[in-house]
Amino acid sequence: MEEEKRPEAGVPQEPVPEASETAAEAVADTVQETAPESTETAAEAPAEQPAEEQPEDEEYTSKDFANDALDLIGAVLSSIFVVIVLFAYVFCIADVEGESMLPTLEPNDRLFVMRVGTEFERGDILIIDSKKAYTFDANNNLVAGEGLGKRIVKRLIATGGQEVRIDFSEGAVYVDGEKLNEPYISSLTKRDEGAFRFPIVVPEGYVFVLGDNRYISRDSRHPTVGLIPEEDIIGEVVFRVAPFSAFGKIE
């Protein structure tokens, strides 16, 4: 609390008007109330940021062009390499020649063939490299002869360890004593081509194949085809690529 000033002795004091004192207090109050707002406003005002310098466009040089060209060439070569590997080890395309697989396959059909996998089942359609033909001699030993020397397409009938018997008078095929239901054939199996004296047991590592058009097909019944080594199987036909009207999976 401020001390009250005492009047000096001998000096007459003039009375201070009350209105002036009230005005002073109002001014003081105004200063006290507005000063913090001004300070707060000044604090909130963001400082001006210096303008960022725009980077200059770099010149596209012949060295940059050469690097881009090398990248493009590398990508193209990598794509070609992948395609070659896929066709060599994963799948291939095969064209049908002849009528030995009618009515399932027709001449000029283009087929998608999967190379991957060695587990084949009865009824699968296979692409085979007929390099050698294996038959039995008089002592029932397996011997190799000349094959057709080309790729053929046939249907898998029996694998290693299974017994095959063909009743040519009936035109029926039996595997392990069971008569096969073959809705895919165009004619009965009545032609004996002389490769074997049935029944036979297919050796391990070999397969017995027949064409769907049994009347004209040259297949395991014939001495130039005989039994097929599993390593000569190129792959399994998955679906028909062309003609487009017949595109789809092959049964």
Task: Return the active site residues.
Answer: 100, 154
Measured distance CA(155)–CA(161) in Å, rounded:
18
Measured distance CA(55)–CA(32) in Å, rounded:
50
Measured distance CA(157)–CA(173) in Å, rounded:
9
Helix (H, G, I), strand (E, B) or coil at 88: helix
Conformation bin of residue 149: beta by default, left when phi > 0, alpha when psi is -120 to 50: left
Beta bridge partners, 135, equal 143
Identity of the amino acid at 152 = I
**By 3-state DSSP, what share of the chain in percent is helix, strand and coil, each rounded to 5?**
25, 30, 45
Confirm if 155 and 208 have CB atoms less than 8 A apart.
no
Question: By CB neighbour count within 10 A (0-12 exposed, 13-18 middle, 19+ buried), where does 6 fall?
Answer: exposed
Measured distance CA(135)–CA(231) in Å, rounded:
17
Helix (H, G, I), strand (E, B) or coil at 216: coil
Confirm if 218 and 224 have CB atoms less than 8 A apart.
yes
Measured distance CA(39)–CA(20) in Å, rounded:
29
